[in-house]
Amino acid sequence: MPANLIKRDVITALAARAAGLDQSGGDPRLKQVVNRLLADLMLAIDELDISMDEFWRGIAYFTQAGKQNEFGLIVPGVVLEHFLDLRLDEAERRAGLATGTVRTIEGPLYISGAPISKGEARLDDGTDDGEVLFMEGQVRDVSGEPIVGAVVDVWHANTMGNYSHFDPAQAAFNLRRRIETDKEGRYRFRSIMPSGYACPPGSQTEKLLQAMGRHGNRPAHVHFFVTAPDYRKLTTQINIDGDKYLHDDFAFGTRDELIPRVERITEAAEIYKLGLNKPFARIQFDFSLTKEVAGAPATIVAREHAEAA
Ligand code: MBD
Ligand code: FE
C-alpha cells in the first residue's frame, strides 16, 4: 500500500475523539498524553505504511513482554530510561541546582528493604568465590561537608551477572544492603566483584535487540540510591573499569564520571590485615548530594518494585 493515505487532520481528529477530548469527564493529563501518543502512532503507521501483519506482530510482542514482566528491561534497552535521566539533568541545570554526583538509571532489579547497618556491611554471603571487593568512600554535601547518617542503598549482581530475588539460586538480599554513613559521613563494604548482566536468552528484550543487530549486555556495575534528610535522592551506579562492555552498555547507563579506578592489592601484609588469603580489589568512591529545593523536579520516583518475599 502507498504511504500517507490519510490526511493529517483526519488523524488528529480521530486521536482526539479516542482520547475523550470531547468528553468532560476523565483525567485531563491522561487524555492529553493518550491523544498525543495515539496521533503520533497513527501518523507513523501511515507514513511508514506499517502493514496489518507488522502491526499485529508488534501487539503480540508487547503482549508476551507483559506476560514475562519485561517492560522494565525493554525501557533501558531502547534508551528511554537514560533519556529520562538526560531530561532530569537538564531540568536541574535550568533550575540552577548545584551538581553533585551524576545520576544514572535505576534499572529493573532493585528490591527495597535490604538489611541496614551502620558504617559498614558485608554484602556477599560467602558462597560465591569471586574476587573480593572492598568499596568505601564518603557522602558529602556539594560544599564538601560530610553527611552523617546518609543511607547508601547498594545492590549488584554476582559473578554470573545475576541478582538475588530474581535469581532463585541466591539467598534473600544477597549482594543488597543499606549502609548508614558514620560520624565522618563514611561508608564501607566488603563484597565480591560483580560480572556484567546479560538479557535472559530467549527473552522478548533479547529478541528485539537481536532484530536490531544489537547485544543485550551491560558492563559490570554496582547500583546505589544515596539518601539523606533535606537532600535530593541520588540514583546512580559505578562501572567496573576494564570491562569489555564499559562503553557499549545495552542500557546506556555508563557515564564517564562513574568509572572509578580499581586498585588491585597483591601485597601479602595488606591481604593478611584484612583476614584474606588472596589478592583483592579496592574502589574508593565519594558521593556528593545536592540540597533539596522547593519547586525543583522530583528525584524520588514513584515506581513499582518487586517485593521481597
Ligand atoms: C541490569 O542489571 C540493569 O542495571 C539494567 C539497567 C538493566 C538490566 C539489568
Ligand atoms: Fe544492574
Residue 34 CB less than 6 A away from ligand 1:
no
| Nearest Cα residue to 210 out of 200, 220, 219 | 200
Instruction: Decide if pLDDT at 306 tops 80.
Output: no
CATH fold label, 79-289: Protocatechuate 3,4-Dioxygenase, subunit A (2.60.130)
Atom 6 of ligand 1: nearest residue by CA position: 107
Q: Is the CB of 253 under 6 A from ligand 1?
A: yes
Average pLDDT over the chain, rounded to whole? 96
For the Cβ of 107 lying below 6 angstroms from any atom of ligand 1, the answer is yes
How far, in Å, CA of 235 to CA of 241, rounded?
20
Mean pLDDT of 160-169: 97
* Residue 218 beta carbon below 6 angstroms from any ligand 1 atom: yes
d(CA 182, CA 276): 25
Q: How far is the CA of 211 from the centre of ligand 1 (A)?
A: 20
Distance (angstroms) between ligand 1 centre and the Cα of 77 equals 9
Q: What pLDDT does 309 receive?
A: 62
Q: Give the C-alpha separation, 135 to 139, whole Å.
A: 13
Handedness of CA 110, 116, 118, 120 (dihedral sign): negative
Atom of ligand 1 nearest to the CA of 72: 7
pLDDT confidence bin for 1, thresholds 50/70/90: confident
Is any ligand 1 atom within 6 A of the Cβ of residue 109? yes
Q: Which residues is 141 bridged to in the sheet?
A: 289
pLDDT reported for residue 2: 87
Q: Is the pLDDT of residue 57 over 70?
A: yes
The ligand 1 atom at the shortest distance from the C-alpha of residue 161 is 2
pTM above 0.85, yes or no: yes
Identify the pLDDT of residue 307. Answer: 73
Q: Residue 305: what pLDDT? A: 85
Whether residue 170 has pLDDT greater than 80 = yes
User: What secondary structure does DSSP assign to the chain, as a single string?
Assistant: --S--S-HHHHHHHHHHHTTTTSS-S-HHHHHHHHHHHHHHHHHHHHHT--HHHHHHHHHHHHHHHHTT-HHHHHHHTTHHHHHHHHHHHHHHHTTPPP-SPP----S--BS---EEESEEE-S-S-S---EEEEEEEEEETTS-B-TT-EEEEEE--TTS--BTTBTTSPTTTTEEEEE--TTSEEEEEEE-----BPPTT-HHHHHHHHTT---B---EEEEEEE-TTB--EEEEEE-TT-TTTT--TT----GGG---EEEE--HHHHHHTT-SS-EEEEE--EEEPBP-TTSPP-S-----BPP-
**Structural domain boundaries in the chain:** 8-73, 79-289
* Stretch 83-112: mean pLDDT: 96
Average pLDDT over residues 135-163: 98
